[in-house]
Amino acid sequence: MPTIIQKRMLSPNVGWLEVEVPQIAKKRKAGQFVILRIDEQGERIPLTIADSNPEKGTITLICQSIGKTSTQLNSLQTGDTIRDIAGPLGQPSHLENFGTAVCVGGGVGIAVTYPIAKALKELGNTVISILGARTKDLLILEDEMRSASNEVRIATDDGSYGVKGFVTDQLKALIQERPVHFVLAIGPTIMMKAVSNVTREFGIKTMVSLNSIMIDGTGMCGGCRVTVGGRAKFVCVDGPEFDGHQVDFDELMLRQRMYLTEEKQSLDQFHQCQLDAQLSK
């Protein structure tokens, strides 16, 4: 069973886990993800592989506590095991030397941007990263992103760090300053939609990494389907990266809300269980 060999919190809600899964560490390329299940009663959730160390046989996962499973995962400690991890899944990022490549990362999406920024830089791109978060405490992996980029710009919604405002304002300013050849946007769906709308005007190739609901992650159920260029695509096998100018983001956002009620019920029950466990100690 995959063992967590190192764990820390990057921010109050974002966990960083280094997990031993040699066969995935060996095979994984930037842009790919895993599906994991914590225990026998668990659900299967997708998480992008933020980094890997083939020699050590480990992969790094970054997880934001949103619902039951992510909260439970972030409650695990060094030495704990995860029941199932399958992968690497999805298509690797299609990367080349574009010239100037801008990586826009929002919130926990920065973790997904990181391996791709690193790979883009290794290919000789001038990498400019624009990192966005609601507030300073939620900004993660700044040092890593600096090492993977030629330049980093930061925006926070409340202005507590970097420039006050959205990543799209930063992106617009950048595009007016200098030629941009490629944009990668990863973060909340609404952010990826906004970035794609900005770059569409300028005709800049833009890739986004979609985070639809998944179950198996191997193409057998279609739960993750999205409309891209008017056609149904499966995020788990055809993606997760797609041309941002072709994605039906509104449909994706509606689909992501499918189980809101159940997700809340599940999280509430988990919190209650944790509370009971603490009280009985």
Partner 1 sequence: MELTKDERKRRMSIPRHKMPEQDPVARGRNFQEVNNGYTPELAMAEAERCLQCGKPRCVQGCPVNVQIPQFIAAIAAGDFMAAAHVLHEDNALPAVCGRVCPQEEQCEQLCVLGAKGDSVAIGHLERFAADYERERGALELPQKPTPTGKRIAILGAGPSGLTAAGDLLKAGHDVTIFEALHVAGGVLMYGIPEFRLPKKIVQAEIEYLKKLGATIETNAVVGRTYTIDELFANGYHAVYVANGAGLPKFMRIPGENLNGVYSANEYLTRSNLMKAYDFPNYDTPIARGKNVAVFGGGNVAMDAVRTALRLGAENAYLIYRRSEAEMPARKEEVHHAKEEGIQFHLLTNPTRILGDDKGRVIGVECLHMELGAPDESGRRSPIPVEGSEFVLDVDTVVVAIGTGANPLLTQTTPDLKLNKWGYIVADEVTGQTSKPGVFAGGDIVRGAATVILAMGDGRRAAAAIHQYVMSLPA
Find the shortest distance in angstroms from Cβ 30 to partner 1. 15
Peptide bond into 54 cis (omega under 30): no
Contact by Cβ (8 Å): 43, 35: no
Output 198 or 252, the one with its CB closest to partner 1. Answer: 252
The site map against partner 1 for 38-67 (x = CB under 8 A) is: ---xxxx-----------------------
Q: Out of 87, 107, 162, 239, which residue is the one contacting partner 1 (CB under 8 A)?
A: 87
Site for partner 1 in 154-183 (CB under 8 A): none
Between CA 273 and CA 16 the distance in angstroms is: 24
85-93, 109-117, 156-164, 168-176 -> range binding partner 1 (CB under 8 A): 85-93
Between CA 56 and CA 11 the distance in angstroms is: 26
Query: What is the maximal distance between C-alpha atoms in the chain?
Result: 61
Interface size with partner 1, residues (CB under 8 A) = 41
Task: Supply 96's token pair.
Answer: 């080349």
Does position 266 interact with partner 1 (CB under 8 A)? The reply is yes
**103 among the known binding-site residues?**
no
Q: Out of 31, 88, 239, 240, which residue is the one contacting partner 1 (CB under 8 A)?
A: 88
Site for partner 1 in 181-220 (CB under 8 A): 215-216, 218-220
Output 139 or 224, the one with its CB closest to partner 1. Answer: 224
Contact by Cβ (8 Å): 17, 4: yes
Between CA 173 and CA 202 the distance in angstroms is: 12
Between CA 204 and CA 110 the distance in angstroms is: 21
**Read out DSSP for 32-65?**
-EEEEE-STTPPPEEEEEEEEETTTTEEEEEEE-
Q: Out of 8, 27, 146, 164, which residue is the one contacting partner 1 (CB under 8 A)?
A: 27
**63 among the known binding-site residues?**
yes
The set of residues, in sequence order, having a beta carbon less than 8 Å from that of 251 and lying 6+ positions away, is 226, 227
Q: Out of 66, 123, 173, 254, which residue is the one contacting partner 1 (CB under 8 A)?
A: 254
Contact by Cβ (8 Å): 110, 52: no
Pair type for strands 151-156 and 163-164:
parallel
Does position 134 interact with partner 1 (CB under 8 A)? The reply is no
Find the shortest distance in angstroms from Cβ 135 to partner 1. 30
**Binding site listing:** 62-64, 221, 224, 236
Please give the annotated binding residues for [2Fe-2S] cluster, written as ranges: 221, 224, 236
Annotated binding site for FAD: 62-64
Query: Using CB under 8 A as the criterion, which residues of the chain lie in contact with partner 1 when the complex forms?
Result: 23-24, 27, 37, 41-44, 68-69, 83-89, 215-216, 218-223, 225-227, 232, 237, 251, 254-255, 257-259, 262-263, 265-266, 269
